[in-house]
Amino acid sequence: MSDSSQPHLKRALGLGGLTLFGVTYMTVITVFTTYGFVNQVTDGRLPAAYVVAIIAMLFTALSYGAMVRRYPVAGSAYTYTQQSFGGGLGFLTGWTMLLDYLFIPMINFMLIGIYLNTQFPAIPAQVFTFAAILLVLLFNILGITLVNRLNMVIIALSVVLVVVFVALSVKTATASPETPGLLDPILPGEGGLGPIFAGAAILALSFLGFDAVSTLSEEAKRPRKDIPRAIVLATLIGGIFFIIVSWAGAMAYQPDWAAMTTAELDSAGVGAMAEVGGTLMTQFFVAVYVVGALGSGMTGQVSVSRILYSMGRDGMLPRPLARIWAKRGTPVVATTAVSVAALAGLVIPLSFAINVISFGALFAFALVNLSVIRTYVFPKGGRRAPLTAREIVFHLIFPIIGFGLTLWLWTSLTGTTFLIGGIWMVVGVLIIAIVTGGFRRPVPTMDFSEGDPTTEQIDQLGEDYPLEGESRR
């Protein structure tokens, strides 16, 4: 029986809202966040890097969907790895994910400050960044439904921007005698596939929207049915937009990427807008980018606060993080903690945050792919029936491909990124040591003992299978 006296996250999101959340998290104008940097790494083959990234992410998105059907609760990769491989690796996965999840909203707040400062140079960028942190905190404490409504407006403005940009880019490209061939931006250059995979590894941060959707399992009306669909839809929709926008830009704007300074690379998106549309287009871009960054910051904070909520609920982090405001059904302490962490964006450089953000994401993606194989192919206690052809494809072959691709991308990151990520993981191991009394006690995990469903039960009952805390039918 469920305990009605305990506050729970409010189930308010359907398939449309969940997909919208994921697409907003990825936000189509994210292309311009790393536009200059990835173009330099890939020698102008940004669209090719997106093609590689979306292929790898689709396999991983399917693995997320498979795990959501088994564990439709908040926590994402943290929960899936924990239940598949134990509390130690589960916590380390969730802890490593925090490296990118804490930086995602922070980066958006920093970008808001940077871009608004270009229009209002008399006001320091940190003032705008701090104001954005406070505004997003207010919205997210008030509830997920309000965030979802704001997302619709943000996506509409972003779509208008990219449509205008693509149209102007095509016009510019057709009028230029130096326009590259239609397929040149998506084909390997002189450096081969190596630079493209290095760029794709950085672009993993662009696809965190599907992982963000999985963190809302306890706020979805039909999590086992809608979450997997929303994950794949968000990945496809976002990926297609990324490829189209980056391809259009590559056709119209071909500077000497290798010769550009760091400052020029940071503002390469503005340079592309000025090239195809002039001052008016640049101003429109800055306005929409700021709004889009605000939406991405909101959804990013929602996701990481749910992970902190799960870790606090399990006792791996301070339990007050699991405190929910009963009136609004939101994890108010965890949400506030994310805003406090985002204050670091007032002092650290943007390049630092961008360079480390994909480390935790790709590590978590690889573990989720392995979790599908462990959960469905080699379950605890052994299988009761042979694998069907469908299970072999979706629970073995696809996860193996997803694991291989994400591992390849992960190892394509820079040495500095691995140094920073490695230090973060060591801190996670130290936390485990403290919580377990020097590894003498087991790592706390979520208890599914009363209702851990078998694959057969889920397949037979689908949405009728009771969620955690609900009574059996």
**Residue 385, Cα to own-chain centre: how many angstroms?**
35
Residue 299 inside a domain? The answer is: yes
**CA angle at 63 for the pair 62 and 65, rounded to the nearest 5°:** 65
Residue 83 inside a domain? The answer is: yes
User: What single letter denotes the amino acid at residue 334?
Assistant: A
The answer to whether 304 touches 339, Cβ cutoff 8 Å, is no
Average pLDDT, consecutive stretches of 10 residues, N- to C-terminus, the chain (473 residues): 51 82 76 89 94 93 90 76 89 83 85 82 90 86 61 76 91 86 87 89 81 76 87 91 93 91 78 88 86 78 77 76 71 85 86 79 92 92 85 95 93 86 92 87 60 42 42 37
Q: Which of 241, 293, 260, 271 is nearest to 47 (CA)?
A: 241
Dihedral sign (CA 363, 90, 210, 206) = negative
| Boundaries of domain holding 329 | 15-382+421-447
Beta strand residue intervals within 291-341, DSSP E = none
Residue 334 inside a domain? The answer is: yes
Q: What is the pLDDT of residue 327?
A: 67
pLDDT tens for each residue of 42-51: 999 999 999 9
Q: What is the pLDDT of residue 376?
A: 93
Q: What is the pLDDT of residue 429?
A: 93
Tell me the C-alpha distance between 207 and 200, whole Å.
Answer: 11
Q: Which helix (H) or strand (E) holds 59?
A: helix 46-70
Q: What is the pLDDT of residue 427?
A: 93
Residue 463 inside a domain? The answer is: no
Residue 394 inside a domain? The answer is: no
The answer to whether 211 touches 18, Cβ cutoff 8 Å, is no
**Residue 364, Cα to own-chain centre: how many angstroms?**
11
Tell me the C-alpha distance between 473 and 470, whole Å.
Answer: 9
Q: What is the pTM of this model?
A: 0.78
What CATH number is given to the structural domain containing 54?
1.20.1740.10
Q: Where are the alpha helices (DSSP H) in 176-222?
A: 193-203, 208-214
Residue 457 inside a domain? The answer is: no
Residue 265 inside a domain? The answer is: yes
Tell me the C-alpha distance between 311 and 96, whole Å.
Answer: 13
Tell me the C-alpha distance between 227 and 467, whole Å.
Answer: 14
Residue 469 inside a domain? The answer is: no
Number of domains within the chain: 1
Tell me the C-alpha distance between 246 and 252, whole Å.
Answer: 10
Q: Which helix (H) or strand (E) holds 360?
A: helix 350-372
